[in-house]
Amino acid sequence: MLTPDQIDSFETQGYLVVENVLDQATLDRVRGEYEALLAGLMESWGAVSSGDFATDIVTAYEAGHEWFQPMDISLPGDRITADTPFHFGPAVFDMVTAPRLLDLVEDLIGPEITSNPIQHVRIKPPERRLRAGEIRAHVGGTDWHQDRAVALEEADRTDMVTVWLAVTDATVENGCLQVIPGKTGLLPHCPQRQTAIAEGFIDKSQARPLPVKSGGAVIFHPMTPHASLPNLSDGIRWSFDLRFNRTGQPTGRAHFPDFVARSRTNPDSELRDWQAWKKLWEDARARLSRSPHIDIHRWSADAPVCA
């Protein structure tokens, strides 16, 4: 449970750092699930595992193997095919629906909680090992943005929070998040390295780093500007980026599946089966692979503020 002071701080500053959101057992299951996933990918590539997850991630990246999308917990924003890979497993589902996590979300948006489909794994190799021109926010650094801006207009009035969960310790050295405290109106964004706040609309000198230990979380209001620092360490920085919104309100990505994670008024509506969660995404993939592409962002590179 959040204290009244924490809730007040979130409402005024637009963010919270909360330690010990996930217990060690949950983290260990997630790590084990991803280690098995990477081992299977390496076998399919004909590669030999070192036995260390972080080392194998960097090796796979440098060899040009596509490991990110097979590990992500979402479909991509570009063209979707019938065999676009993704990962949905029991350990990740238990993380997304962890009672302690949902308790925090309930304190901020109320007891009727939908798991929003804007969600990703983020496993970031050391910056010095990245290829020149790497633009994927889930692999390299993340530009300044507001989470409201990376959802479609339908969700501009939705009560929503982002929960950024640390699997490894997130430090200033290895690329923790940074925030400009407060909540602004929706700022113009431009397709830059990623979808990012247009130049000149925020004062980056006010940025505040937000280190958090493994198992902790950074919780964001959707109007709070934030970004990540570069990973200047020799290891990976691993996190999950989840969103939750009040049930019955638009998610901002209606073509991707959501589910009821908690309901105090109708507990029977809660999804409790990870395989059913996986099937929601499999069905969405099949449907979207046969349909015209749906853009996940609203911003145009030819807008005057983007010139």
Q: What is the pLDDT of residues 242-260, one digit of tens each?
A: 999 999 999 999 999 999 9
Residue 277 and residue 232: Cα distance in Å, rounded?
36
C-alpha distances out from residue 64 to 45, 68, 127, 131, 203, Å? 10, 11, 16, 10, 37
Domains of the chain: 11-289 (2.60.120.620)
User: What mean pLDDT is reported for the chain?
Assistant: 95
Average pLDDT over every residue of 84-93 = 98
**Integer distance in angstroms from the first to the last C-alpha of the chain?**
46
Q: How far does CA 5 lie from the centroid of its chain?
A: 26
- Mean pLDDT over residues 31-35, rounded? 98
Neighbouring C-beta atoms of residue 209, cutoff 10 Å? 14
pLDDT for res 301: 86
Facing residues of 124 across strands? 237
CB 280 within 8 A of CB 93: no
Does 82 have pLDDT greater than 90? yes
Q: What is the pLDDT of residues 109-136, one digit of tens each?
A: 999 999 999 999 999 999 999 988 777 7
pLDDT value of residue 94: 98
**pLDDT digit string, tens, across residues 2-13:** 999 999 999 999
Judged against a pLDDT cut of 90, whether residue 14 lies above it is answered with yes
Closest CA to 167 of 31, 18, 72, 35: 31
Q: What is the pLDDT of residue 81?
A: 97
pLDDT attached to residue 71:
97
The CA distance from 119 to 242, in Å, is: 5
Handedness of CA 57, 74, 85, 133 (dihedral sign): negative
pLDDT band at 138 (very low <50, low <70, confident <90, very high): confident
Strand order in the sheet with 217-220: 15-18, 217-220, 160-166, 237-246, 112-124, 259-263
Distance (Å) of CA 151 to CA 54, 174, 217: 31, 27, 21
- Please, which pLDDT band fits residue 141 given cuts at 50, 70 and 90? confident
> So what's the pLDDT on residue 5?
98
Backbone angles phi, psi at 68, to 5 degrees: -65, -55
Highest mean predicted confidence (pLDDT) among 128-137, 188-197, 218-227: 218-227
Using one digit for the tens of pLDDT, what is the confidence trace for 66-79?
999 999 999 999 99
The confidence score (pLDDT) of residue 193 equals 76
Whole-angstrom Cα distance, residue 226 to residue 204?
10
pLDDT confidence of residue 136:
74
- Single pTM value for the model: 0.96
Question: Among 218, 276, 242, 262, which residue's Cα sits nearest to residue 118?
Answer: 242
297 — pLDDT class (breaks 50, 70, 90): confident
The pLDDT score that the predictor gives to residue 147 is: 96
pLDDT for res 215:
98
